[in-house]
Amino acid sequence: MIYSLENIDAKAYEGDMIFLYGDECAERRLPLGRKELELVKRKRGEAESAKGFAVSFDRLPSRLYVVSFDSERRGAEVQEVLRRKAAEVLKMMERDGVRRVALSGEGTLPEEVAAFVEGLTLADYSFDRYCTKERYHVEELAIDSVFFSQEELEAQQRLWNRIFWCREWVNLPVADLNAVQMAEELQGVAEGFESVKCTVMDKRKIESLRMGGLLAVNKGSVDEPRFVVLEYDGRGAKAKGEKPIVLVGKGIMYDTGGLNIKPDDYMQEMKSDMAGAATMASVVFAAADNALPVKVVALLPLTDNRPGFNAYAADDILTMYDGTTVEVVNTDAEGRLILADAIAYAVKNYDPRVIIDAATLTGAAVRAISTYGIAAMQTNAEREMELLKIVGEEVYERLVEFPMWEEYDELLKSDFADLRNCGTTPQAGMITAGKFLAHFAKEVPYVHLDIAGVAYFTKGQTYYRAGASGYGMRLLYGYLQLVNS
């Protein structure tokens, strides 16, 4: 989609147009005829103001799409309504064959317009790489220049572009994006920045580091593992001398479950098990794109989990990067093993201000809160969690915090090693996964984000089509914007 800013006179504009109507005080400025205005006013009276509505008018040879909403409601709620209405309008435009459209409004704030454009952009994405028939997409969007400066629009575009590429990586099948190829992709992107350093560690280097979790999970695969480190040194005085924020992303390029192989209906869509790594890499690149004044490091352990060759097995005992021994109870609890090595590496090598991980880690997270948010936990990171919650409410990538009580440690005790990689009971599976990882963070402030329910949607919902969502990127980018303010 090509975005542009134009001086748009809504009443005189002759092409296809979307008009946002948020405040009844702006009624006299609506670009509507008498009967059209009567219809909008009637529907506005009938509709639930919290949900708003969208209606299309035929203005041969063009069309007008009016989006009505209540601008008096809480800002974050209004913005989410507009993202969702944007997805509805997109369906109308596809039905009408409209590919170039202008956007204007009255009684509308710049942040509300930005939310609508964001919703339209996220909804317009689909994974088309393997489709032989052309799919519908908006080609051009002209936005009334009263709402944004060119600089503001371009900053948003850069973030949306990173979300696009995050979704592309997650949607790619492992046949075309394995650990080695993903590392090459990340290295190629990093080369475009002076401010981002990319270090790719191959299997020999990983062996020298004795990352027992990453190496064990990789034993069943024909493809080598990789451990990728992205370091962004933010430009600006605020970033100088700061401890880095370390982002850790689960990079299981495909998860069969290993020797504890998944049944058919759980194997589908396991290409998305590297969404955490794609998310954290994309957040670093977005921060670099817009020169955020922070220091950020992303640690990305990459491998697939297969049952071939000399695959690791239940009852194996692994020695992790920090020397912790782990009894393997289930080879399908592999994500926490590779994350544990990365978290321990962060503690030893970066003296982090906070460690935040993102992982499609447990089905328990989906069962707990469905596909409506992120299951979150923290140790020693109350302030960071509160900031993330605040941002999550604003961008509508919401967090639900679960406890990390010490009693849960009992479920990870092993008779044969320091820890088990799974709890002794099926209960609290999401929390025990978080507790397992917190062991490796030691006393460093640590936040765990289980994105299993939101990273990939089997069926489209709200402003996401089926497939990867990029969910969590706007949350973490907003956190990086806020953290030094």
How many Å apart are CA 409 and CA 457, to the nearest integer?
A: 32
* CB within 8 Å of 33: residues ≥ 6 apart: none
Told to judge if 219 belongs to the known catalytic residues of this protein, a careful annotator would answer no
> What does the alpha-carbon distance between residue 141 and residue 100 come to, in Å, rounded to a whole number?
6
CB 112 within 8 A of CB 78: yes
Q: Cα angle vertex 84, ends 98, 390, to 5°?
A: 140
From 336, 353, 398, 420, the catalytic residue: 336
Q: What DSSP line would sit under 397-419, residue for residue? A: --EEE----GGGGGGG--SSSSE
Q: How far apart are the first and last CA of the chain?
A: 32
CA-nearest of 212, 388, 358, 330 to 273 is: 358
Distances (CA, A) of 200 to 55, 220, 249, 348: 51, 21, 15, 18
How far, in Å, CA of 371 to CA of 454, rounded? 5
* Cα torsion angle, 338, 344, 347, 353, sign: positive
**For residues 87 and 121, what is the distance between their CA atoms, to the nearest angstrom?**
9
Contact 1, 137 (CB under 8 A): yes
Identify whether 262 is a catalytic site residue. Answer: yes
Among 41, 162, 74, CA closest to 480: 162
- If 0-12 CB within 10 Å is exposed, 13-18 middle and 19+ buried, where does residue 315 land? exposed
Which residue among 158, 262, 389, 442 is the active-site one? 262
Helix (H, G, I), strand (E, B) or coil at 302: strand
Contacting residues for 31 by C-beta, under 8 A, at least 6 apart:
10, 11, 13, 17, 19, 64, 104
- Would you say 253 and 182 are in contact if contact means Cβ atoms under 8 Å apart? yes
Cα 456 from Cα 378, distance rounded (Å): 24
Q: Degrees (nearest 5) of the Cα angle 5, 7, 8?
A: 105
Residues 468 and 414: their CA atoms lie apart, in Å, by: 36
The catalytic residue positions are: 262, 336
